[in-house]
Amino acid sequence: MRSAHLAAQRDEEHTFALAGAEIVADPSGALYWPDERMLVVADLHLEKGSAFAKRGVLLPPYDTASTLARLAGVLLRYAPRSVVALGDSFHDGDGPRRMSSVDETTLRTLRGGRDWIWIAGNHDAELPRDLGGSFAASLAVGPLIFRHLPLAGVADGEVAGHLHPVARLSQRGRSVSRRCFTSDGRRLVMPAFGAYAGGLNIRDGAFFGLFGTLAYSALMLGEQRVYALSAARCFPD
Amino acid sequence: MTVLERTALLPDRFARWFAGRGWTPRAHQLELLAEAHAGRSVLLIAPTGGGKTLAGFLPTLVELSGLHDPPRAAGAKSPSRLISTGHAVRREGGLHTLYISPLKALAVDIARNLERPVAEMGLPIRIETRTGDTPISKRQRQRRDPPEILLTTPEQLALLLASADAPYLFGSLKRVILDELHALVISKRGDLLSLGLARLFRLAPDMTSVGLSATVAEPEELARFMVPQRGDVSAARADIIFAAAGAPPNVSMLDTRERLPWAGHSARHALDEIYRLIETHRTALVFVNTRSQAEAVFQQLWRINERNLAIALHHGSLDVAQRRKVEGAMAAGLLRAVVCTSSLDLGVDWGDVDLVINVGAPKGASRILQRIGRANHRMDEPSKGVLVPANRFEVLECRAALDAIAEGAQDTPPLRIGALDVLAQHVLGCACGGPFFADELYAEVTTAAPYSGLTREDFDAVVDFVATGGYALKAYDRFARIRQDKDRRWRIANQNVAQRYRLNVGTIVEADMLKVRLVRSRASKVMPRGGRLLGHVEEYFVETMVPGDTFVFAGEILKYEAIVEDAVYVSRSAAEDPKVPAYEGGKFPLSTYLAARVRNLVAHPQEWRELPQQVREWLEIQAWRSQMPGSAELLVETFPRANKHYLLCYPFEGRLAHQTLGMLLTRRLERARLRPLGFVANEYALAVWGLGDVAQRIDRGGFSLSELFDEDMLGDDLEAWLAESALMKRTFRNCAIIAGLIERRFPGQEKTRRQVTISTDLVYDVLRSHQPDHILLRAARADAATGLLDVRRLADMLSRIRGRIVHKALDHVSPLAVPVMLEIGREAVYGEATESLLAEAEAELVKEATQ
């Protein structure tokens, strides 16, 4: 019965409950909360390319444009009333000043007509205020609390970023790694959204520390949908 | 010039030395001496054991002896006199001859071998090596006070050229000797060497070159590589000397009494016979094609080694110290056999080897001949080789190779077109050496044969890449690595750039390797530490394993315990049935030439007489049950089996090209709603299976095989696949590293790779969608044409078989199909993107949860 139900869900939204809130895990890596018309993205790491370039590693300077274009797509689909950028939105505090004027305009347009909350991350604790939007260390809405760094210990309703979760499967002798949402139904760690953001395997000790057991699952990002797998089924690096 | 006149070029002391050892100078040695004396560049083509290396050094030794040209010799004896050239100083004497070898071990070995005649004849010549192992103090001294003869590698040459004193060091250079040139020119190292050579010719315009090579298909191409090319004159090239061929090799195929396996590469059936061969010879080299085969064969031989013969193992993943130990024991004559991979294709002379056994497919006629030449490094005695096919198809390939050897046919690959990523590395190196004008550097670079066709546009794009990344979006001007000064000369932006160049020079990009450390099996959860280093394995091999899995490595069955940072910890295991290690290495595709011969052999029953009876019967049953593919045709068979429909084809183009074909065919079958499920390829054939019935669809019309195999699959389908192909991403990564976009090593901190690097897969995705014509993507596509994807070969095949597809609809599997069908389940199954694997894993989980 259930498998038929899941198969029918192909290409549809993956809705799940977190501390009582019904939320949608989008295959782009964004989280949507329909009741609040709120969209959450974590770890955009905008201007990571230019941060590397400053150190002499001339990565293609298209990461900001690429990240913003994907974000624009999600915003168009959900038309949220508010957007929460869950920290490390820029690779460093200087990032906004290195942004090209085109990217700046894109970001301003995306922000237009909706609330935009920059949650402080460890990379971008001090963002220039002329960026627009509002700034916060964390944000509590109903049963959920949004912050960049997940707290140690029990944290019901927490939505955090920072760890860049990636799940790895080995199937038919092939290994597949994808970014993923990680949750035990009580707290959630979001995948990184940025084009150049790396990843940390969900079997790493950092996740075990948060969830206490292996009883958490991964929602792996696919092309059209997310795939739900238990952490125990995933492989460590 | 007569022989007598040539002999006259050899000073008495040399002639006496030869005589004292009971040797007569060989004709080609004297001929080379005469050519070099006349100031010509020379390519010497000689079989192994022909005194090739001594021939290469003879002109230099004679010139430096002071016995041949007295006025010049006076200067040579006081090598530290400085001479003003007006705007710089040059040293009288100085570096005379630079020797370049593909292996640093070979350079060291040759230096040792040269010391002997030099000492015995009392020649005033200093000979030194320079490799990655040379201490810094010695390297600095070598720049200040160079020896007369320096032996080194292409990478070290690049480093020497990238410094301000290169004109001083190389200004006196008279000769460059390029050893094992046939092996150097086929890779990106050859590209790097060609650019270094172009620079040397500019720094020392009177320099000549001596090339030493095994027999190749196109010696003229190698001869072109050795001298500067000028666009306006027809291809300049070195003179070529062919040494008299040695005794023809004595090569045969093992005529096994056992049943020949249908598939597999272990040659388990023939191990007893291989053991008998080892027993009845002094020393045998047992070559295999992959490291995993080496491990398997070594294991099996020891299992039946009742006489405890000294049999050793040698392959590129083993720890260096371990390899040196084996080489030492070999040289000392302590071993009866070494099971090895291409790690022993080149290198040190071992006179005692009297038998070469090649287990598995020969892959190429020239390649197998060079391997067999490792037996008996004395030219007048025939080398003895035995080919041991591991399965039926390999019997055909061995037969084709034997025929090719008998005819003296060669199938070495054509000369490369210089890679753009290597050029980028060279351009940065040039800037590190001193400021340059783009016009002058372009002129210099195009004198290198692989780059003689380089357009100015591409050159400028490479310079732009080196400066600011070469992006259409000009975002990085302030971060430029090289900039133009007011005279429009390009200079490095700061010294940090040069330091980083020096840390990252070279074109050999290792797959990400993990150390293998042996520890005791772990009862507790304590993280393992320490442990003896056994060698290195590719990270992607370890990725397919879970703790507890067993595999064979370094001759032992090991259990995977854990991975911590850059090491895999393993313990000894008593497991009987270890997982076959899938780590790669030494996987060459079947040469185009040999493939054509195999197709021809299969197509002509009158030639089957030479084949073992069981193979002949196999082919005869195929002809009866289905049909034999003609030499110019492509046979496609379809048949149902266990609720699935199979499509088999036999292009004989090598596994890599077949894999690419498999990827593209499954995309097309998907689009035709024939619901393909997977495919598997071997060197000769490709099998695709799915739920849809291809034969039925053809019967109904509206679908044809000529459409399915149409060349247009190399357009959009290929592009779409390349977007997500892991092989393409690996290819891109190599280019990004060689070109210097991503650094392997950083000055100062010794961080692990995981901490500092950014995933090149992410960079690939972003670059591909924003600037698909970027120079690095072009470089990666050029590599894909011949490398891991072998697209060019696939293209040639598709055009060859156009209008020549023969379809045979069968009720069940044909005899010819059996070998590749047996690979199903053994090899990783490739399929459409990873998406379906995710869905499958999810569905399995749901099933487990609901049952």
Write out pLDDT tens, residues B392-422.
999 999 999 999 999 988 988 888 999 999 9
State percent of chain A over pLDDT 70: 93
Question: Is B841–A50 a contact, with Cβ atoms under 8 angstroms apart?
Answer: no
pLDDT digits (tens, 9 = 90+) for A197-218: 989 989 888 898 899 888 899 9
Task: Decide if pLDDT at A21 tops 70.
Answer: yes
Distance CA B451, CA B442 (A): 10
Stretch B255-277: mean pLDDT: 89
Residue A221: closest CA among A163, A167, A178: A178
More confident of the two residues B454 and B570: B454
Which residue has better confidence, A216 or B589? A216
Beta-carbon separation of B475 and A100 below 8 A: yes
Nearest C-alpha of chain A: how many angstroms from B539?
A: 10
Give the relative orientation of helices B438-445 and B456-468 as an angle to the nearest 10 degrees: 120
The pLDDT value given to residue B319: 83
Domains of chain A in start order, with CATH, are 10-233 (3.60.21)
d(CA B391, CA B288) in angstroms, rounded, equals: 14
Cβ under 8 Å to A: B residues 76-135: none
Terminal-to-terminal C-alpha distance of chain A: 34
| Cα B35 versus chain centre, distance | 32
Whole-number pLDDT of residue B371: 87
- Answer whether residue A159 shows pLDDT above 90: yes
The residue ranking higher by pLDDT, B45 or B841, is: B45
User: What strands lie across the sheet with B384-388, from one edge to the other?
Assistant: B250-253, B384-388, B355-359, B284-287, B337-340, B311-314
Q: Which of the two residues, B231 and B818, has the higher pLDDT score?
A: B818
Name the class of domain B3-242.
Answer: alpha beta
Q: Which of B464, B476, B494, B495 to mutate to test the interface with A (most CBs of A within 10 A)?
A: B476
Question: Please, which pLDDT band fits residue B72 given cuts at 50, 70 and 90?
Answer: very low
Partner residue facing B758 (CB), from A198, A220, A228: A198
A169, B838: Cβ pair inside 8 Å? yes
User: B550-553 and B556-564: which strand pairing?
Assistant: antiparallel
pLDDT of residue B429: 97
Confidence at B81, pLDDT banded by 50, 70, 90 = low
The predicted structure's pLDDT at residue B838: 76
Q: What is the pLDDT, as a whole number, of residue B467?
A: 97
Q: Is the pLDDT of residue A195 over 60?
A: yes
Is pLDDT above 50 for B831? no
- Of B27-36, B218-227, B264-273, B539-548, the one with minimum mean pLDDT is B539-548
Q: What is the pLDDT of residue B202?
A: 96
Taking the Cβ of residue B741 and every Cβ of chain A, the question of whether any pair is shorter than 8 Å is answered with yes
pLDDT (0 to 100) of residue A2: 35
Q: Does the pLDDT value for residue B18 go beyond 80?
A: yes
**pLDDT average, residue stretch A8-32:** 84
The mean predicted confidence, pLDDT, of chain B is 85
Which of A227, A230, A234, A235 is most worth mutating to test chain B (most B CB atoms within 10 A of its CB)?
A227
Is there a contact between B262 and B819 (Cβ–Cβ < 8 Å)? yes
Average pLDDT, chain A: 90
| Residue B642 Cα, gap to closest chain A Cα (Å) | 19
- Is there a contact between A60 and B496 if contact means CB atoms under 8 Å apart? no
Question: Between these two residues, A125 and A96, which has the higher pLDDT value?
Answer: A96
pLDDT band at A196 (very low <50, low <70, confident <90, very high): very high
Q: Which DSSP state fits B3?
A: H
CB-based contact B152:B107 (threshold 8 Å)? yes
Tell which of B744, B755, B757, B770 to mutate to test the A interface (max A CBs under 10 Å).
Answer: B770
Neighbours of B716 (CB within 10 A): 10
Lowest mean pLDDT among A223-232, B212-221, B231-240, B622-631: B231-240
Note the pLDDT of residue B2: 67
Residues recorded for chain A: 237
| pLDDT band per the 50, 70, 90 thresholds, residue B351 | low
Q: Which residue has the higher pLDDT, B677 or B17?
A: B17
Q: Would you state the pLDDT for residue B849?
A: 58
**pLDDT for B527 beyond 80:** no
Quick check: B759 contacting A, CB < 8 Å? yes
The pTM for the full model equals 0.87
Of A167-171, B614-618, B707-711, the one with minimum mean pLDDT is A167-171
> Between B770, B830, B831, which is nearest A66 by CB?
B770
In the predicted model, what is the mean pLDDT of residues B76-86?
49
CATH 3.40.50.300 domain extents, chain B:
3-242, 250-407
Q: Kindly state the average pLDDT of the residues B732-738.
A: 93
Lowest mean pLDDT among A82-91, A147-156, B163-172, B756-765: B756-765
Distances (CA, A) of A211 to A139, A154, A155, A192: 21, 8, 10, 19
| Averaged pLDDT for residues B322-328 | 86
Query: Looking at residue B187, what DSSP letter applies?
Result: S
Is the Cβ pair B543, A175 closer than 8 Å?
yes
Q: What is the 3-state secondary structure (H, E, C) of B338-375?
A: EEECHHHCCCCCCCCCCEEEEECCCCCHHHHHHHHCCC
DSSP letter at B566 equals: T
Min mean pLDDT across B173-187, B231-245, B508-522 is at B508-522
Percent of chain B with pLDDT over 90: 50
pLDDT level of residue A25 (50, 70, 90 thresholds): very high
Which tokens sit at B465? 């890449």
Residue-by-residue DSSP string for B472-485:
SS---GGG-SEEE-
Q: Check: CB of residue B368 under 8 Å from CB of residue B358.
A: yes
Q: Out of A30-39, A145-154, B533-542, B653-662, pick the least confident.
A: B533-542
**Which of 765-804 (B) contact A at CB < 8 A?**
765-767, 769-771, 774
H or E stretch including A168?
A: strand A165-171
Confidence category of residue B590, pLDDT binned at 50, 70, 90: confident
pLDDT of residue B127: 95
Please state the rounded mean pLDDT for residues B122-148: 91
Whether B581 contacts chain A with CB within 8 A: no
B56 touching A (Cβ < 8 Å)? no
CA distance linking residue B429 with residue B445, whole number of Å: 13
Q: Which chain A residues are within 8 Å of B473, Cβ to Cβ?
A: 61-62, 100
A4 has a pLDDT exceeding 50: no
User: Lowest-pLDDT range, A161-165, B21-25, B540-544, B606-610?
Assistant: B540-544
The answer to whether residue A173 scores a pLDDT higher than 80 is no
CA–CA distance, B762 with B756 (Å, rounded to integer)? 15
pLDDT, position A126: 87
B635-650: buried (b, 16+ CB within 10 Å) or exposed (e) per residue? bbbbbbeeebbbbbbb
Chain-centroid distance, C-alpha B648 = 30
Residue A235 confidence class, pLDDT cut points 50, 70, 90: confident
User: Confidence band (pLDDT; 50, 70, 90) for B75?
Assistant: very low
* Nearest CB partner across the interface for B838, out of A54, A62, A222: A222
In whole angstroms, give the CA distance from residue A140 to residue A128.
23
Highest mean pLDDT (candidates B122-126, B368-372, B443-447): B443-447
pLDDT of residue B82: 56
Distance from the Cα of B436 to chain A's closest Cα (Å) equals 21
Nearest alpha-carbon partner for B125 in B92, B79, B163: B79
Angle at CA of residue B656, ends B655 and B657, nearest 5°: 95
- Report the residue from A61, A168, A229 with minimal CB separation from B473: A61
pLDDT at residue A1, as a whole number: 32
Decide if A62 and B476 are in contact by the 8 Å CB cutoff: no
pLDDT of residue B308: 95
Task: Give the integer Cα–Cα distance in Å for A171 and A174.
Answer: 5
Nearest to B682 by CA among B530, B820, B547: B820
User: What is the band of B583 on the pLDDT scale with cuts at 50, 70, 90?
Assistant: very low
Check residue B74 and give its pLDDT.
39
Give the class (CATH, top level) of B250-407: alpha beta
Asked whether the predicted pLDDT for residue A6 surpasses 50, the reply is no
Which of B44-58, B581-595, B749-763 is modeled with the greatest confidence? B44-58
Provide the pLDDT for residue B828.
Answer: 46
pLDDT for B191-228, tens place per residue? 999 999 999 999 999 999 999 998 899 999 999 999 99
User: What pLDDT score was predicted for residue B482?
Assistant: 97
Q: Considering only CB atoms, which chain A residues are within 8 Å of B845?
A: 228-230, 233
Q: Is residue A224's pLDDT more than 90?
A: no
Closest residue in chain B to residue A235, using alpha carbons only: B546
The tokens describing B466, both together, are 């080196």
Higher pLDDT, B423 or A154: B423
